[in-house]
Amino acid sequence: MADHPEPATTVHHLETLRTRFARTLEAARGPAPAAAPDPLPYADDLLRRWQEPQRRYHTVTHLTAVLDRIDTLQEYADDPDVVRLAAWFHDAVYLPDRSENEGRSARLAERALPEAGLPEARTAEVARLVRLTVSHDPADDDRDGQVLCDADLAILAAPPSAYAAYAAEIREEYHFVPNDAFREGRAAVLRHLLGLPRLFRTPHAAKEWEATARYNMRAELELLSI
């Protein structure tokens, strides 16, 4: 469940991710002409973004964890490959001191994916899913949105040590924010999530992750109030 199983920046790991992206893009774009663009330059651009120095939690380790969780939940998705592409793009633009990272990430997908040969309708769906990660509140009939949001939030149900590492990395990403302001902002995020009727929407995630996630967040919220 943790986002921290192994250091995720080894050459082998990055090569595996490149291959995963290529397979996903090729499957999502369907039958393509012989001149279809090579997926690997797009994978390399995304991986470069996911390794930027301002990141502590939103790294290739997090990307890998989300992709793995989508694999776990794929039976609940209508279009698993589109969900996987959305995972690749959902934090591709990540500057902690800027707002609208999700919107910028969605616009990146809207620029890159048509050039990479993805059909217009699927590009639009990827962008929609990326924007959904602002609220993590998909509609009851939004199966793809539910899978992406559940996969993205699964870190909340990590074992205590991994959850603590996640919380510490989030604080490191916002190192420029004074302690009192960070505590207030982080508490607001936790209260928003705890206020959702359900954190997780897919049957597997609801059964396996919901109770632990709420316990972890309530514990962090209590620590923030000390």
Contact 175, 118 (CB under 8 A): no
The closest of 88, 92, 94, 41 to 65, measured between CA atoms, is 88
The closest of 152, 155, 128, 143 to 201, measured between CA atoms, is 143
Q: What torsion do the CA atoms of 33, 44, 148, 63 make, to the nearest 10 degrees?
A: 150
Quick: pLDDT tens for 117-165. Answer: 999 999 999 999 999 999 899 999 999 999 999 999 999 999 999 999 9
Q: What is the pLDDT of residue 32?
A: 65
Contact 155, 3 (CB under 8 A): yes
Q: What is the pLDDT of residue 142?
A: 98
Quickly count: other Cβ atoms within 10 Å of residue 122's Cβ.
18
Tokens of 115: 């050039």
Tokens of 145: 């949105």
Report how far residue 14's alpha carbon sits from residue 10's, in angstroms, rounded to the nearest whole number: 6
pTM of the predicted protein model: 0.93
Contact 136, 152 (CB under 8 A): yes
Quick: pLDDT tens for 2-31. Answer: 554 444 468 899 999 999 999 999 999 988
